[in-house]
Structure 1
Amino acid sequence: MAKAARPLFIGLCAVLLASCASFSTPPETFDLAPPRTASIQGASRAQLLIPEPTAIRTLDSQQIAIMPTSLTVEYLPRAQWTDRLPRLVQLRLLEAFQNTGRAGAAGVPGQGLAIDYQIVTELRRFEISLESGSAVVEISVKALNDQTGQVRAAQIFQSSVPLTGSGNAASVLALNAAFANVTDQIVGWTLRLV
């Protein structure tokens, strides 16, 4: 091959490889279902701020966590959340409080509410546990008085839902059910507390 043609050949190969890569199958993208609120008891006139939950790096992404053992983390193949998981949980919790119609108001930082309480959360578990064959969601919650900075109360909420099928959709369905259970617990507890 002539020296002048070699750079052209290499460039053509690079373009062909890039175009082949662009035809790869995109990952399935999943959302958390809008929270149900019909069975939630309690009411409050308090205005609530829902900050983004804290989470370890394995949960602070769009990837969907799988725990083959209690010490190993993998991710659901070719699957992702619609947004970073902490942001998604924050917005679904906000939606749950708003949907009840039983809170004075609920918002996220930057919305200019006169806040009574911050509902501070930490994602501890949000995964498919292969050891137990279930979806596990565990969220730690603190109700923080925004005026005094004191924690009114703190609690850990957890739900485990068995997997009833195989594949990405079945895994996400179980995670949605576990998250819905935890959301109901958090919203009910908060409205009774504040």
Structure 2
Amino acid sequence: MTRSLPFGALAAVLLATLLAGCVSALVTRPPPNTYDLTGPRELPKVSRAGRAQVLIPAPTALQILATQRIVVSRGSLMAYYPDAQYPDTLPNVLQARIIETFELSKQAHAVGRPGEGLSIDYQLLTDIRTFNVVVDGSGMVADVEISARLMNDRNGRVVDFKVFRARVPVTADTAPAAVAGLNQALDQVLIELTSWALTRL
């Protein structure tokens, strides 16, 4: 005579089976591929560059951009490339690249993050308006748009404001091709942004 398991025992067996499957998936699934944003490797010399100390906070951004995920848009649909990420949230990565670009110029007295103890002359306040690959009927482009305000830290007055944008063709609808295009567009934006800011310090 076959005896069935009590309901409680059967539920426990099913739960254990499900948990085992979840743990197995967590253990065996590979981590996402990580793609970095590199920034420019050389800059044109800027005339009239000052010797001020500049604070560079992390840029602000909408929540869909303020993540490690790589954004692709198709019309009004915003999505992420699967199994691909930046090494940190996009605002933190861009903050690091802006600082590195200023350091590469060797034309600012000092640049740094909040909390590093600099005696600040100016703050460079930025906002990431667009940072994604756009897919439409005409093809694919990497679209980067960053607004910048240069603020005198002594009196809180905004010295100047400008929006920087670059669009670069993307060769394929894949994460590596997307990041390659975004890197090219970002290089253009960072060169223009840094040159603009240096002439106003």
TM-score, normalized by length of structure 1?
A: 0.92
Match of 1:52 among 22, 35, 58: 58
Unaligned runs of 5+ in 1: none
Match of 1:17 among 18, 21, 26: 21
- Confirm whether residue 74 of structure 1 aligns to residue 79 of structure 2: yes
Q: Which residue of 2 aligns with 1:170?
A: 177
Query: C-alpha separation between the residues in 1 aligned to 2:124 and 2:169?
Result: 28
- Confirm whether residue 124 of structure 1 aligns to residue 129 of structure 2: yes
- Where has structure 1 moved over 4 Å in runs of 4 or more? none
Cα distance, 1:24 vs structure 2:
2.1
Q: How many residues align?
A: 193
Cα distance, 1:20 vs structure 2:
2.8
Instruction: Say which is worse superposed, 76-85 or 16-25, in terms of deviation.
Output: 16-25
CA contact (8 A) 2:128 2:146 kept: yes
- Paired letter, 1:54: T
Structure 1 residues 139-170: Cα deviation after superposition (integer angstroms, max 9, x where no partner): 00000000010000000000001012342101
Q: Which residue of 1 aligns with 2:146?
A: 139
Cα distance, 1:34 vs structure 2:
3.9
Match of 1:99 among 96, 104, 120: 104
Identity of aligned residues (%): 35
Larger radius of gyration: 2
TM-score, normalized by length of structure 2?
A: 0.89
Instruction: Say which is worse superposed, 129-138 or 168-177, in terms of deviation.
Output: 129-138
Match of 1:191 among 191, 195, 198: 198
Cα distance, 1:39 vs structure 2:
2.6
Cα distance, 1:2 vs structure 2:
2.7
Aligned alpha-carbon RMSD (Å): 1.7
Cα distance, 1:5 vs structure 2:
4.7
- Paired letter, 1:21: A
Query: C-alpha separation between the residues in 2 aligned to 1:166 and 1:74?
Result: 13
Unaligned runs of 5+ in 2: none
Query: C-alpha separation between the residues in 2 aligned to 1:78 and 1:72?
Result: 19
